[in-house]
Amino acid sequence: MPLTPAFEASVYKTRRDEVLRRMREMASGAAIAIFPAMPVATRNSDVEHPYRAHSDLYWLTGFEEPEAVAVLSTQGDKPFTLFVRPRDKEKEIWTGRRAGTEGAMKSFGADQAFEVGKLDDELPRLVGSARTLFYRVGGDDPQFDTRMAKLLHALRARARAGVNAPPRIEDPGQIVHELRLRKEARELDALRKAVGLTRKGHLACMRACRPGMHEYDLHALLEREFRQGGGRGWGYYPIVAAGENATVLHYNDNCMQIRDGELVLIDAGAEYDLYTADVTRTFPASGRFSAVQRACYQLVLDAADTCIAAARPGETIEGLHEKAVRILTEGMVKLGLLKGEVDQLIKENAHRRYYMHRTSHWLGLDVHDAGSYSIDGKPRPLEAGMVFTVEPGLYIASDDENAPEELRGIGIRIEDDILVTDSGHENLTVSIPRSVKDVEAACTR
């Protein structure tokens, strides 16, 4: 694990200061917020999955080690406490260096740090007279939920001694996730680097693909390009789907042979400093689209281009989705997939037979990044600094007897990463081939 944060310590301090300010605004009286690390996940037997930090904890601290707990308090002169694994020479021989309490303060800016084994002793003191506890119940670690429940129970049991548990519990996501929605300059730098590596991976696959290869051959190319450029690898497990596999939205077997005449759908994004790109491209295995494939592809591209062109402050993700649905529904009628009047088909959600998912989601530290999509029950207006995807698709199952035979087994998705700017938008992934002409050129053998 890195012994120093990816960004300057001042970046994280500024974030914590803003979180503390908003905690004071929301709380009546003193408040405390607790952010535990992601638990280590077992792959099988005594083998663990590679560890990846919890995005909220990382955003606040830059700290990536497991078992950590960050505590923010509006009381006293030490607002940031970090609980970390102790230095352990023997264990560090096996699993790598640890920051320890000294590193937590020196490198990560903690006002005070304790070994995580002292959490149950120190946390009641830190909670102190807090009237509001910011903690996400039902988060990523059920065992930590149990730990918090025991803490609150113990505090309530001491009520006669004048010790009180915080009477109010709030989700810190109300604050942290709202702040994560609007990307800072350093975050955008990381996203651009992730996009650059992602571009290399997708281009390598387009250039290398041949009928007779396997999906896993292209998966391997992605991994190489993402790693060679200094990335952490992928930000989510890649989808490499040939032929009818592309009609399975989250296909990830990535093991079938690629046949002549098939389309190949790749949904893959590199991760850089824990920020991930999210890009999907679909291209012909043979290097040239057939007439039917081209018609389907152009329909999806038209939907994507229309949505991207409309992206600007004040627009909503819901509004973009509605634009995509209308264009796709009109195209489905022309292709013979649907019959009827377009407005009525949309009202009946008829398009969902061939376009089942939403058009956009937030993007950042998580591929489906944090942040609400509505405010007071209404679609949230886009604002400068937000990053989201545009990813319309068309998925026609190979056994769909209602579809024209020549369309069956075609799966297409085109996904780009969009930054909202003051005056409109920037397509961060526009340099990854999108048009029929550019895709075929990239596939030139």
Count H helices and E strands in the chain, helices first.
13, 21
283 and 387 part of one domain: yes
- Which amino acid is present at 368? H
Domain interval for residue 92: 9-180
Residue in 156, 158, 207, 250 annotated catalytic: 250
- Please give the average per-residue pLDDT across 53-67, as a whole number: 99
- Please give the average per-residue pLDDT across 394-409, as a whole number: 98
- 321 tagged catalytic: no
CATH of the domain at 189: 3.90.230.10
Q: Indicate whether 316 belongs to any domain.
A: yes
- 361 tagged catalytic: yes
Reported confidence tier of residue 103, pLDDT bands at 50, 70, 90: very high
Q: Indicate whether 382 belongs to any domain.
A: yes
CATH of the domain at 102: 3.40.350.10
- Please give the average per-residue pLDDT across 382-397, as a whole number: 99
Is residue 160's pLDDT more than 90?
no
Report the pLDDT value the prediction gives residue 350, as an integer from 0 to 100.
Answer: 99
174 and 230 part of one domain: no
Residue in 413, 417, 425, 434 annotated catalytic: 413
Report the pLDDT value the prediction gives residue 412, as an integer from 0 to 100.
Answer: 99
- 278 tagged catalytic: yes
Report the pLDDT value the prediction gives residue 161, as an integer from 0 to 100.
Answer: 73
- For the chain, give the mean pLDDT: 97
- 267 tagged catalytic: yes
Is residue 198's pLDDT more than 80?
yes
Residue in 170, 271, 278, 369 annotated catalytic: 278
Is residue 445's pLDDT more than 80?
no
Is residue 128's pLDDT more than 90?
no
Q: Indicate whether 4 belongs to any domain.
A: no
Report the pLDDT value the prediction gives residue 1, as an integer from 0 to 100.
Answer: 83
Over residues 253-280, the pLDDT tens digits come to 999 999 999 999 999 999 999 999 999 9
Reported confidence tier of residue 358, pLDDT bands at 50, 70, 90: very high
Is residue 224's pLDDT more than 80?
yes
169 and 196 part of one domain: no
Q: Indicate whether 3 belongs to any domain.
A: no
Q: Indicate whether 2 belongs to any domain.
A: no
152 and 295 part of one domain: no
Residue in 56, 415, 416, 417 annotated catalytic: 415
Q: Which residues pair with 32 in a beta bridge?
A: 73, 133
Is residue 27's pLDDT more than 90?
yes
Please name the residues in contact with 285: beta carbons below 8 A apart, sequence gap of 6 or more. 209, 210, 211, 242, 258, 259, 260, 261, 262, 263, 264
Q: Give percent above pLDDT 90 in the chain.
A: 96
Over residues 428-443, the pLDDT tens digits come to 999 999 999 999 999 9
Residue in 275, 395, 417, 434 annotated catalytic: 395
Over residues 7-26, the pLDDT tens digits come to 999 999 999 999 999 999 99
- 357 tagged catalytic: yes
Residue in 244, 262, 391, 416 annotated catalytic: 391
Report the pLDDT value the prediction gives residue 80, as an integer from 0 to 100.
Answer: 99
Domain end (from 180, 209, 238): 180
Reported confidence tier of residue 162, pLDDT bands at 50, 70, 90: confident
Q: Which residues pair with 390 in a beta bridge?
A: 416
Domain end (from 126, 150, 180): 180
170 and 232 part of one domain: no
CA angle in degrees (0–180, nearest 5) for 358-359-362: 95
Q: Indicate whether 1 belongs to any domain.
A: no
Determine how β-strand 387-390 pairs with β-strand 416-420: antiparallel
Write down the pTM of the prediction.
Answer: 0.97
Give 154-190 as a DSSP string.
Answer: HHHHTGGGT----SEEE-THHHHHHHHHB--HHHHHH
Residue in 192, 294, 326, 357 annotated catalytic: 357
CA distance 404 to 399: 11
Residue that wins the pLDDT comparison between 445 and 164? 164
CA distance 30 to 129: 7
- 395 tagged catalytic: yes
Reported confidence tier of residue 150, pLDDT bands at 50, 70, 90: very high
**C-alpha to C-alpha distances, 51 to 17, 34, 39, 410, nearest whole angstrom:** 28, 20, 9, 36
25 and 40 part of one domain: yes
188 and 333 part of one domain: yes
62 and 174 part of one domain: yes
**Given phi > 0 = left and psi -120 to 50 = alpha, else beta, which region is 254?**
left
Residue in 98, 199, 351, 361 annotated catalytic: 361
- Please give the average per-residue pLDDT across 87-102, as a whole number: 97
- 214 tagged catalytic: no
158 and 192 part of one domain: no
- 351 tagged catalytic: no
212 and 105 part of one domain: no
Reported confidence tier of residue 175, pLDDT bands at 50, 70, 90: very high
Q: How many domains does the chain have?
A: 2
CA distance 364 to 281: 19
Is residue 317's pLDDT more than 80?
yes
Q: What percent helix, strand, coil does the chain show, rounded to 5?
A: 40, 20, 40
126 and 224 part of one domain: no
Q: Indicate whether 123 belongs to any domain.
A: yes
Report the pLDDT value the prediction gives residue 159, as an integer from 0 to 100.
Answer: 74
Residue in 64, 244, 262, 267 annotated catalytic: 267
Residue in 25, 46, 77, 422 annotated catalytic: 46
Is residue 28's pLDDT more than 90?
no
202 and 309 part of one domain: yes
Q: Indicate whether 225 belongs to any domain.
A: yes
Report the pLDDT value the prediction gives residue 407, as an integer from 0 to 100.
Answer: 99
